[in-house]
Structure 1
Amino acid sequence: MYPAATLEIESPETIENWRPLVQWLLAIPHVVVLYFLGIAGVVAWVVAWFTTVFTGRLSEEVAGWLAMIHRYQFRVTAYTGFMYEEYPPFDFTRTLEEPGGSPVSVSFEPQFEERDRLTCVLRIFWLIPIAIFSAIVYFAATILWIGAFFAVLFTGRWPEGLLDFVVKALRLNLRANTYGSFLTDQYPPFALE
């Protein structure tokens, strides 16, 4: 269990068969918003790096921004991947706890004080192993997502094993992102939990 970031997805037992064909189109407004949030995320990341390296602490305001961006990203990813049907809210709540209103629950417990400045300075290098592992797992999940596309298209259901693996891959990706965006100094585990 990695307490710095949690992700849960309440996926329905059945999904309407047409959703894999068009749900990604319905998500285009969210993808546009994510583009601009990504720009804000880079700014927040730079601010987080400087404040953590020079003061040894992370600002709650910056942590809130980073949490909101990560939460928005994973809600849109799960929706685009037809893991649930409810249209994701345009929610820009900058809280660390899950504000609700979506089947995708993303919460954070960042480390604000007593940060290890050296690991923050070298974070980009420490991030490489977990980023490679996460990319490999996410690539496998993407291939399984293609299989799930046809399963949902013809049966209206996600195969349980595929859904479980994809959710675990998303969780791993969230943990790597949480570590990479300075929300914690705790290294994410190389595990699918």
Structure 2
Amino acid sequence: MSPAAAAPDRPVRVTTRLDAPLSRWLWLVKWILVIPHWVVLFFLWIAFTVVTVIAFFAILFTERYPRALFDFNLGVLRWSWRVAYYSYGALATDRYPPFSLGEEPGYPARLDVAYPERLSRGLVLVKWWLLAVPHYLVICFFVGSWRTDWWSGGLVGVLTLIAAVVLAFTAKYPRDLFDLITGLNRWVLRVAAYVTLMTDAYPPFRLDMGGDEPDDPRLPS
């Protein structure tokens, strides 16, 4: 599903697929394998911050998020999500994440954000420092930090570690844990898109677990 195809009431869509089989022990060295990604993402997130500031003023004066800037920031979020999914934000695939800002439809972790034709000038002034504060409190519990990242630990880190230990001894990733971890990450990504001004749709206080969005049209009726 392309960003433009996402439903207006669900502008942020996170879909995942649990790969199988997974290596029992590869997770022990993934922190080394993703170092090149972390180096690149360090600079990409600096650019992301600058782009978001530019977008802030563009929205304030024109009510529009410049499309090229939107696509770049969405690419950074996608890249970060794929790296987190491969490493310690989920450990749910052994497929090495591509060095790409693109959609990468074949990768088992996907993120789509619908491009907004218009954004509120008023909301852009209060989203990240006021309206999102309740979500920050939740995210601190989920990932161990008020920032919307996956590097600090928190509940996601603990659950991912449990899944890794179970995988090491049984060669299986517990499906219930996968659904929960995906739901927690989905919450984080929805908030990330909101506070970085990519949507005016307030993130729901709801844990949508599982690999598919609850209203995904690909699901059987």
TM-score, with normalisation over the residues of structure 2? 0.80
Cα deviation, residue 160, structure 1: 1.0
Report the CA distance between 1:14 and its aligned residue: 2.6
| Alignment check: 8 A CA contact 1:89 1:101 kept | no
Matched, 1:123 2:127: yes
Q: Kindly indicate whether the alpha-carbon contact (under 8 Å) linking 1:44 and 1:62 is maintained by their aligned counterparts in 2.
A: yes
1 CA distance for matches of 2:141 and 2:117? 31
- Pairwise CA RMSD of aligned residues? 1.5
1:15, 1:84 within 8 Å by CA — same for their partners in 2? Answer: yes
Indicate yes or no: 2:186 matched with 1:171: yes
Count residues in correspondence: 188
Please give the secondary structure, in 1, of the residue aligned with 2:13. strand
Cα distance in 2 between the residues matched to 1:137 and 1:155: 26
**Residue-by-residue CA offset, 1:23-71 (whole Å, 9 max, x unaligned):** 2211111111111111011011101111111211111111101100100
| 8 Å Cα contact 1:27/1:76 also seen in 2 | yes
1:9, distance to aligned residue in structure 2 (A): 1.6
User: What corresponds to 1:141 in structure 2?
Assistant: 156
Deviation sequence 1:67-117 (CA, Å, 0-9, x none):
001000000000113210111111123xxxx3424211111103132x211
- Structure 1 runs not aligned, ≥5 long: none
CA distance in 1, matches of 2:34, 2:202: 32
1:135 CA displacement? 2.6
Question: Does 31-40 or 148-157 show the bigger shift?
Answer: 148-157
Name which of 107, 111, 117 aligns with 1:112.
117
Secondary structure of the 2:94 match is: coil
CA contact (8 A) 1:133 1:190 kept: no
Q: Which stretch shifts more, 168-177 or 151-160?
A: 151-160
Write the letter of the residue equivalent to 2:75.
M
Give the match for residue 157 of structure 1.
172
Q: Are 1:91 and 2:91 matched, yes or no?
A: no
Q: What is the correspondence of 1:44-55 to structure 2 with a 5 Å cutoff?
A: 44-55=51-62
1:192 to 207, 211, 215: 207
- Contact kept, 8 Å, 1:4 with 1:178, in 2: the verdict is no
Residue 99 to residue 123, structure 1, CA distance change in 2 (3 Å): same
| Partners of 1:39 and 1:85 in 2: CA distance | 28
Higher helix share: 1
CA contact (8 A) 1:23 1:80 kept: yes
Q: Which moved more, 1:38-47 or 1:12-21?
A: 12-21
Q: Structure 2: how far apart are the matches of 1:83 and 1:76?
A: 11
1:132-185 C-alpha deviation (Å, 9 max, x unpaired): 223323322221112112111222221111111111111111100000111111
Higher relative contact order (CA 8 A, sep 6+): 1
Aligned to 2:85: 78
TM (norm. structure 1) is: 0.91
Q: 1:180 aligns with which of 195, 202, 209?
A: 195
